[in-house]
């Protein structure tokens, strides 16, 4: 992408989109087109087409999506499949119609079949059903990948698809009810520390293994792919290493400085037993991650304290600060 290219980052306020914007600015790209949801509703086909016709975009990084953890997917599956189908269809189609040079679409490692052979190779997509807990989201995103590939074959549209591992970092969503594993744990351990709670309970057995990638590494990979990859095949983006969720929780507990107990609710689902991706296709293009897990968690918690942590409550007169509720 040339430095004077007109680049639209869809979802620029989200976790991945904000990291992509940071990296573009660092690289000297100045003609960035950014629109919040209040300015451009990506589920509105007419509005999206008018936007592309008007703005004369050269490149698109499609990071806009409705995302959430297991609980959010269970409760709002209809919203997840509807909104993601609308967003990606509107943007991909309008970008092609407007003559965009290249588009990057982001999938997710959760799109792979639940029991696919590990590490997950790109060829495993659609060889089995997705994990039931995120089925609506997965089906929508798989449709987006298929749309990119079909537009490439029929119209010659240069759309590429990246499959990120579990992402975390500055700009994440720290709602303990609807967030992913890392931000959800950071928020719960932080709140427990502030409240003096004796323990924190996490879902499931703690044995599922997950691969995590710091979001600034993901942004770096996205720009690398825009410059160095033009294939139809999807391409995995990850660290190439995974960790048990229980170990992740203990690491986050240490980063936060929470000294209470860690317990488990075995009645809650684990989700995928393991999600480690084969990243050899990406590594062959010359890209490598730079930020290790503990360093990334430390950076993320520092950002949380600065930007997202709730204010420390003042104790009521006569109460003891930090006393645990019965």
Residue 229 falls in the annotated catalytic set? no
Nearest-CA neighbor of 10 among 81, 74, 91, 68?
A: 91
Report whether 180 belongs to an annotated binding site.
Answer: yes
**Binding site annotation covers 23?**
no
114 annotated binding-site participant: no
| 12 assigned binding-site residue | yes
Residue 134 is assigned to a ligand binding site: no
Q: Is 11 annotated as a binding residue?
A: yes
Who contacts 136 (Cβ-Cβ below 8 Å, separation ≥6)? Answer: 73, 77, 78, 80, 81
Q: DSSP alpha helices (H): ranges in the chain?
A: 15-26, 45-55, 70-75, 77-97, 135-155, 181-195, 215-228, 245-256, 280-283, 293-307
Q: Is 14 annotated as a binding residue?
A: yes
Q: Which among 293, 322, 283, 275 has a CA at the least distance from the CA of 112?
A: 275
Q: Are 180 and 166 in contact (CB under 8 A)?
A: yes
Question: Quick check: helix, strand or coil at residue 171?
Answer: coil
Evaluated on CA atoms 162, 211, 215, 11, the torsion sign reads positive
- Find residue 210's DSSP bridge partners: 243, 275
CB 172 within 8 A of CB 183: yes
The set of residues, in sequence order, having a beta carbon less than 8 Å from that of 177 and lying 6+ positions away, is 71, 72
Q: Is 73 annotated as a binding residue?
A: no
Establish whether 173 is an annotated binding residue. no
Phi, psi of 168 (to 5 degrees): -155, 165
- 96 known member of a binding site: no
Is 165 marked within a binding site?
yes
- SS3 of 227-267: the string is HHCCCCCCEEECCCCCEEHHHHHHHHHHHHCCCCEEEEECC
Q: Annotated catalytic residue: which of 137, 151, 214, 258?
A: 137
How far are the Cα atoms of 16, 57, 58, 250, 323 from residue 61, in angstroms, in the given order? 10, 11, 10, 35, 47
287 annotated to bind ligand: no
The response to whether 144 counts as a known ligand-binding position is no
What residue numbers does the annotated binding site cover?
Answer: 11-17, 106-109, 141, 164-167, 180, 188, 203, 210, 270
List the binding residues for substrate.
188, 203, 210, 270
So which residues are the catalytic ones? Answer: 137
Known binding-site residue numbers for NADP(+): 11-17, 106-109, 141, 164-167, 180
């Amino acid at each position: 992408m040339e430095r004077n290219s007109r680049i639209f980052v869809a979802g620029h306020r989200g976790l991945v989109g904000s990291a992509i914007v940071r990296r573009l600015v660092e690289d000297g790209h100045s003609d960035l087109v950014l629109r919040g949801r209040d300015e451009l509703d990506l589920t509105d086909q007419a509005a999206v087409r008018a936007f592309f016709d008007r703005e004369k975009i050269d490149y698109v990084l499609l990071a806009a999506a409705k995302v959430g953890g297991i609980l959010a997917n269970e409760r709002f599956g209809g919203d997840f499949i509807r909104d993601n189908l609308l967003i990606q269809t509107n943007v991909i189609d309008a970008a092609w119609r407007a003559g965009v040079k290249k588009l990057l679409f982001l999938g997710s490692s959760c799109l792979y079949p639940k029991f696919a052979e590990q590490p997950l190779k790109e060829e495993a997509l659609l060889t089995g059903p997705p994990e039931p807990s995120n089925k609506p989201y997965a089906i929508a995103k798989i449709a987006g990948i298929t749309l990119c590939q079909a537009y490439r074959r029929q119209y010659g549209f240069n759309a590429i698809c990246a499959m990120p591992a579990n992402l975390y970092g500055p700009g994440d969503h720290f709602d303990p009810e609807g967030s992913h594993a890392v931000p959800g744990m950071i928020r719960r351990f932080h709140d427990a520390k502030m409240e003096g709670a004796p323990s924190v309970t996490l879902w499931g057995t703690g044995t599922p293994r997950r691969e995590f990638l710091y979001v600034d590494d993901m942004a770096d990979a996205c720009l690398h792919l825009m410059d160095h990859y033009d294939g139809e095949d999807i391409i995995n983006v990850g660290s190439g290493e995974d960790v048990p969720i229980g170990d992740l929780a203990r690491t986050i507990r240490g980063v936060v400085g929470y000294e209470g107990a860690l317990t488990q609710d075995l009645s809650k689902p684990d989700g995928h037993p393991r999600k480690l991706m084969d990243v050899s296709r990406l590594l062959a293009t010359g890209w490598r991650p730079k930020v290790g897990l503990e360093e990334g968690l430390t950076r993320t918690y520092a950002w949380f304290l600065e930007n997202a942590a709730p204010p420390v409550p003042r104790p009521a007169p006569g109460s003891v600060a930090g006393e645990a509720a019965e």
